[in-house]
Every structure is written in C-alpha cells, then in structure tokens.
Structure 1
Amino acid sequence: MRVLYDVSRLLSRAERTAPTGVDRVCLAYAEWLDQRSDVVMIPVRGRKGRLVMVDQTWFRDFVRSLRARWDGRTVNGAARHEARLLAALTHDQRPAESVICPPPADHKPARDKPRVLRQFFRSRHAAPLPAADLYLNVGHTTLHEADALQALEQDGVDRVVMIHDLIPITHPEFCRPGDADKHRARVVHTLRHASSILVNSRHTADQLAAFAAREGLTPPPVHVAHLGIETAFAPGDAVRASRPYFIHVGTIEARKNLAQLLTLWRRLEEEMGERTPSLVLVGRYGWENEAVLDHLQRSPNLQGVVHQAENLSDGALVRLMRGARAVLAPSAVEGFDLPAVEACAMGAPLIASDIPPHRELTPQARLIDPLDGLGWLDAIRRATLDEASKPAAAFAPPRWDDHFAVVAGAVGLGGSSPLAAHGEGE
C-alpha cells in the first residue's frame, strides 16, 4: 500500500526538544509506517492548499533524530534548567525563589534557520504527487482548507483522518481567538471528505457525532483507537526528593484548570508554611494563561514552592513523575489526556478531574469534580501527609500495537507489525 503521510505538524516541530501529546502520535505513526514491509510511506506536507512531497530519505533521518532528541539520547539546552529544578526539589529546605522558565514575551528562542531552510527545499513543490492508495493525517494540519482532501477524493485516494478532540468548538473560551473557526473548518472538511475517521476515545467519538448531527452531516465510519503509551512510561527509577512534591504535565493553558490549582496551593502554603509540598508544572506556556503567570511571578506564597519546566526529555520527565506524591490532572475538558494515562502506566498515583475521558481511560484514579476546590484541597493535603507507600491499582496501559491493529483494520492493511520499543535513552 502506498501511503501519503501528512508530516506537516512534525516538520513544524523540528526545533522542539520535547513533544506534546499530538506530536507523540505523529511520530509514532511515522515510525509504524516506515517499518511495515507492506507499506511505502510517502511523506507530504501542505503548501498553499495542496500537498507536496518531502524527500523520503531526509524524512527518515529527521524522524530518527527527533526520536533521539525527545527520548533524551541527545543533549539539549534544557539540561541546565533541569538541573536547577532537581536541586530545588531535593534540597532540604525551601528555596528562596521558584525555578521557572521566562514567560513567552521574554523568551524567543533563536530559530535554526539552516534546519528550516532544509525542510523547505527538501519539499518537491512542482512535482505532482505519485500514485497512492491512501492519505493519512493524524496531526490536524492541512485540514482547515478542503482543497487537498477534495483533490484526493477526485483521484480515488482513500482519506483517513484522526480527530483528537473538538475542544476549540465546544469550549472556545479556553482557546486562542480564531481557533474555533479554524477547527470547525477542519472537522467539517473531515466529515465531508474523509473516507474514515480515527478518534482517540469514546468521548471524542460522541462529541464528533453530536457535532455532525448539529451540522446536518453524515459522518463516514468512525474508529475508536486509544493512544498507546511508550515504554519509557513504566515503573522504574524515580527522583528522591527530601520533601513531598506533586506534578502536572501538559501545556499551561486555561482549560487545564491550573489557576484554581495555584489558588489551592496558596491556601496550602498559608496552612502548612515550610511543610508545604512543592508543585512542578511541566509544559510550555500556552494561551489564555495570564492568571497562571500572575501566580507564578507575583505570589510571594508560591515562591520556592511552585516550579515550572519545559523541554524536559522523556528520561527526566518519567523520573519526576515516578517520584511525585501524585500526578495531578485537574483539566476542565480533555479529548484523551495522555499524561494522565502515562501516570497510571508507570504506577504513579493520579488525582484527576471527574470528566468523561478520565472516567473512560483512568477509572482507578481518584476522580474529583474540577469545580470542587475543597475536594481537591483535601485530596492534596491527605496525599502530602500520608507517607505510607500504597500499591498502585492494577492498570493495563493501552499499547501502540493495539492502537495500530485498529488502524490497520480501518485502512485495509493486514495484521499490525509490532511497533519498535522506545525509551532506550531513559
């Protein structure tokens, strides 16, 4: 099978030293397609409403280098910040200041222009696309315009698209201005022109069905395939901190409910003083996060207690998650919430919001309504004071092999070949 794999999102992540959840999915698909003997992967990207080829040999090298960087097998510029964070968590006494990254307005990393130019010139702009059986898009890119999907449909190429969530449509107040219209266009074009749709949870499937009904559209076949967990997220070595700490993993944005979490941490600090547990927010600054930045930068009660880090390798991230008193996932809305599932996969205690994706994917976690501030405060307080080690609830993490078995069936491939194990660099 000749597969046009849309790599637009992966190419846009060329300079990142750590992935988001959607980035992980895009990379996993690239590796899965590349190692199948019954697939010819043809990487393509969107350009001015159409698809153009990306050099296949260059792209394979790019995927390998991206995996090495995200696993932590290549050194990145975050090592110094990572060392400061670990020193703050393992010190006997509360640090005078928090360890945080500069906010977005002050932090503009220099772009690697040669790398960007290589991406550009490795695309064959003028050459027509080769004959193909399938177009696969799992990154939401290229879909805001219908031209590429329509052209593929006219050429008789099957079109399989993954929808990760409908949050910009259902909860636009949590997203950047304009994202609602852009994402609505993506979903409408997918419903109209895709041969089949992949979704990451039953909740996302339900949201998609409700949206299609409101729009008067009949969706193509929809396949639910829970995302896989990479092998680095398993029980193992952990950070040994002198004082209890909690961790949240994910982009710092409004829907993550972090402003409320930091308000609760201020209350904890007022009650517990020097015995206050630390909180680590691992993730890039996103959007609609002014309240979080105000807490991090201006609250004296949170200085030396709440820390923030980004661009951590998987090796550093999993050690931090394993050593935490609990992983916190207080989101108001999610499509899948990969970090929450990863926490359960490694046996870390999880306190999560009582929302449909968490009930579907992490039912053994302690689930609390995201609006129940006092309930969250009590759970964090209890976890802080309870030093007894409790065995983690039994959890069978979703596997990429199972995910790709569903995908193989959806696109008409034979049995799914095993996905190569990751996490060697941990």
Structure 2
Amino acid sequence: MARTVLFDAGRLLQRSGRTTPTGVDRVCLAYAEWLMGHPDVRFVPVRSRGDHLTALDRKWFGELAASLRERWTGNGVGEAERTLTDLLARPRGARSLSGPVSREREPRRQAMTRLLMSRALPEVSRGTLYVNVGHSGLTSPRLLAKLAEDGARSVLMVHDLIPITHPEYCRPGEGGRHRTRMRLALKQGSVLVVNSDTTAKVLKAFAEREGLATPTVVVAHLGLEPPFAEPGWRPAERPYFVHVGTVEARKNLTFLLTLWRRLEELRGGETPALVLIGRNGWENESVMDHLERSPPLQGLVHQASELPDAALSRLMRGSRGVVAPSAVEGFDLPAVEAMAMGVPLIASDIAAHRELVPKAKLIDPLDGPGWLKALDRAARGDGQPAPYKPPSWSSHFQIVAEALGMKPGI
C-alpha cells in the first residue's frame, strides 16, 4: 500500500532561478528525486503559506526538479576549462574571475506560476508523512500541530545549529529565528534527521538547555553527487589551491588570506594561486578588504562562482589541494567531496572534520605556522590522497527509510 508523503518544496521553489546550488539545496533535490522515484510513495509536493500547506502540480514539479538537476550538474568541460585557462593565464595584478551570473526569476512571475500550479491538498490521514529537509517554513507551530492532529508524522532535517551556537558568524537576528525553528522541530517533529554525530550532539545539548525532550534522532551522513563520487586527482602543472563554500565569516577566510599574504612574502613568484569558489555571504567585510585592498593578493587570489558540479569537480581535481579552515561546521560537503575524489585535503581540526574526514591533514584553525608548512609541502607536490570510503545517498536513504518503517526504494 502506497504511503502519502507531503514533501515541502519551498526551498527548491525559492532557488529555482539559481545557476548553482548550496549544500542544503543539494539535499532538498536529492530527497525530492528519491521520493518521486519511490515505488511505495504517493508523492505530493507542497509549499507552506502561513499556517497552511498548498499542494503543487506533481508533473510540473517533476519537470522543475529535472531542470534543476540538469542545470546544477552541467557538462563541466567547457566551463571548467575556460575557468582554469583564465586562472592560469592571468598575470599578477589581475583581480578575479567568476562564472556566469545567476539569473533569479522575477518575483511576480514566480508567484504567478506557483499560483497557477497550486492544487488542493489531499486529505491528510494517519500514516501520512510530512518531509521538510530545507529548514524552510519551520516557523509556524500551528502548521505542524494541525498535521499531527490529522495523524501525520513530521520528518525534519537539522543541518546545523550554528546561528545559535555561533551567532557572530551569521546575519543579525538569525540566532533568534533559528532558535524558534529548532524548538519547533524538537516539540513537534516525529523524526529528526541530522547529517552528522556532531550535529546530533549539539542538538541534544540545545534540547537540554531549553528543557525540551528529544524525539527520535537519526544520524545519516549526506551523499555525494556523481561528479564528486569517484577518485581521480589530476593536478595541473601550475599549482593552485581551492576553497569551496560561501564567502562568510565562519569559513575563517580572513585567516586563510593572511596565510596567503605570508606565503607570497616567503615564495614570491612561486606562490601557488588560491581560488575561492562560492557566492559572497555575510559578515565578510574583512575578507573583502583583503581581496580588494591587499596588493600581494592581486592576481594571486581569485574568486569564481556559479560553477555547476561538473566544472567544480574538475577544478578541484586539478588543484594541489582543497583547503577548509572553517571555525565550525555541521557537515562540510566540499571536504567530503575532496576526499572522495582523492584530492589532498587540508582542513581545520574541528569536531565535524574529525568525524567526517579523519584521514585528512587536520590542523588547528589558529595554527598559522602549521598551515604554512602544510601548504608549502602540498604546493611542492608532497600532498598525497588518503584512502577514503565516501558516504552515499544510497546508504543515507537506507538509514532514513529504516527509521520511517519504509523500504529503501533505491
């Protein structure tokens, strides 16, 4: 007998105009594809409007998901080769490079499309699952309470609690908003899926501080998309390193750029380039000051964005190593991707990295001399990939399906 699953598509709708996904976007798309293809699931895409859910046309949403998959994966060859050629050919003094600018859909048109594709929500009965893996819309106690009254179970994913534990790295006010989300998840979620033991421990500590009981918590490491899943490190002749992630304070990029300035002082023209791949985020004024005003970094540190997965994986494979000096993470997807591809990884010695990539070169995020030594060795070709068995979406969904009393369906 098929089980009805109401999948919250809110985040994918909001990101439908983007050229490239964030890590959370990837998770939302992977879950949508899994549930749409599950033989025992009656899949109903929904979006929240205040205290209510509205269904979306199933066929239209399926086509949207397929278009996102195609766009976010890309063909890789053209984009990566053009970007890499541009990087290696740039003389010192050239400032940065970037991919094509993402074209967000015009809000009024997007709202009209959603309205036209809205459908009546089917009757919610006992056994129905409401699945929300994007943190979106988790602000209405009434919505989840009404689902529970009708016999539905809410399956929610917690990606991290960084806005609560480290509000200084986030937008002003985000700590309070995320506290509301997490309290709601703890109070009304039937099953909470977390991406790491690290996140699970932080979530349980938060619940204890708030005086709340913890529902069923399922730890399932996130899977990788195909361009990142197979080994194949092929470093380019001219050395460069890559950092992947939003340019924001918690990524510790001010520290990284200070290291690169010191490298330039020590190695001069032999200094490897650094490519920061990701959108500009928040609380990053110090990073931007380094990029825009530090003469030694001009033409040495580049920014690239809007690269689909196939292009991104090729750039990572061509580097001397991926660097991940983050101060805090819940699940560091680029670090896992680097290890899966056999690309040397130099990462901060923090809880998430010790759990996910223990065989990487882990260094305290404040140990400047240690980082300089590791970077210098890797730039000279001494970096070697470590054996690594990456997590997969198959194993992730097997864990989740078992917790929900479902067949894996994959």
**Is TM-score (shorter-chain normalized) higher than 0.5?**
yes
Q: How does 1:199-348 map to 2 (within 5 A)?
A: 199-235=194-230, 241-348=236-343
AA matched with 2:54: V
- What is the match of residue 84 of structure 2? 86
Q: CA deviation at 1:115?
A: 4.5
Report whether the alignment pairs 1:46 with 2:44.
no
- What is the match of residue 350 of structure 1? 345
CA contact (8 A) 2:11 2:25 kept: yes
Of 52, 55, 58, which residue of structure 2 is paired with 1:56? 58
Report whether the alignment pairs 1:395 with 2:388.
yes
- Unaligned runs of at least 5 residues, structure 2: none
Distance 1:108 1:401, change over 3 A: closer
Q: CA deviation at 1:96?
A: 2.9
Of 351, 354, 376, which residue of structure 2 is paired with 1:381? 376
Q: CA deviation at 1:100?
A: 3.8
Distance 1:339 1:197, change over 3 A: same
Q: CA deviation at 1:121?
A: 2.9
Q: Deviations over 1:180-204 (max 9, x none)?
A: 0111000000100111111000010
Classify the secondary structure of the residue corresponding to 1:294.
Answer: helix
Q: TM-score normalised to the size of structure 1?
A: 0.90
CA contact (8 A) 2:98 2:306 kept: no
Q: CA deviation at 1:374?
A: 1.8
Of 149, 155, 168, which residue of structure 2 is paired with 1:154? 149
Report whether the alignment pairs 1:137 with 2:119.
no
Classify the secondary structure of the residue corresponding to 2:228.
Answer: coil
Residues in 1 aligned to 2:118 and 2:197: alpha-carbon distance in whole angstroms: 37
Of 89, 92, 96, which residue of structure 1 is paired with 2:93? 96
Q: CA deviation at 1:282?
A: 0.6
- What is the match of residue 364 of structure 2? 369
CA contact (8 A) 1:247 1:279 kept: yes
- What is the match of residue 405 of structure 1? 398
Distance 1:240 1:355, change over 3 A: closer
Q: Deviations over 1:311-354 (max 9, x none)?
A: 10111100011111010010000001011001111111000100
- What is the match of residue 421 of structure 1? none
AA matched with 1:97: A
Residues in 2 aligned to 1:73 and 1:118: alpha-carbon distance in whole angstroms: 28
Classify the secondary structure of the residue corresponding to 2:377.
Answer: helix
- What is the match of residue 417 of structure 1? 409
CA contact (8 A) 1:135 1:159 kept: yes
Residues in 1 aligned to 2:258 and 2:167: alpha-carbon distance in whole angstroms: 23
Count of equivalent residues: 404
- What is the match of residue 33 of structure 2? 31
Distance 1:109 1:314, change over 3 A: closer
CA contact (8 A) 1:88 1:94 kept: no
CA contact (8 A) 1:68 1:74 kept: no
CA contact (8 A) 1:89 1:242 kept: no
Classify the secondary structure of the residue corresponding to 1:139.
Answer: coil
Q: Deviations over 1:240-275 (max 9, x none)?
A: 634200000111110000011001111111221111
CA contact (8 A) 2:76 2:308 kept: no
Kindly, what percent of the aligned residue pairs are identical? 54
Q: CA deviation at 1:117?
A: 3.0
AA matched with 1:21: G
Q: TM-score normalised to the size of structure 2?
A: 0.93
Comparing 305-314 and 229-238, the one that deviates more: 229-238
CA contact (8 A) 2:346 2:361 kept: yes
CA contact (8 A) 2:229 2:390 kept: no
Classify the secondary structure of the residue corresponding to 1:321.
Answer: helix
Classify the secondary structure of the residue corresponding to 1:279.
Answer: strand
Residues in 2 aligned to 1:145 and 1:170: alpha-carbon distance in whole angstroms: 22
Distance 1:178 1:120, change over 3 A: farther
- What is the match of residue 423 of structure 1? none
Residues in 1 aligned to 2:76 and 2:149: alpha-carbon distance in whole angstroms: 44
Calculate the aligned-residue CA RMSD, in Å: 2.1
Residues in 1 aligned to 2:65 and 2:235: alpha-carbon distance in whole angstroms: 33
Distance 1:333 1:236, change over 3 A: closer
Residues in 2 aligned to 1:342 and 1:83: alpha-carbon distance in whole angstroms: 20
AA matched with 1:22: V
Distance 1:393 1:249, change over 3 A: same
CA contact (8 A) 1:175 1:287 kept: yes
Residues in 1 aligned to 2:103 and 2:228: alpha-carbon distance in whole angstroms: 29
Residues in 1 aligned to 2:153 and 2:122: alpha-carbon distance in whole angstroms: 14
Q: Deviations over 1:27-68 (max 9, x none)?
A: 000000011110011001111232111111100000000000
Residues in 1 aligned to 2:27 and 2:75: alpha-carbon distance in whole angstroms: 19
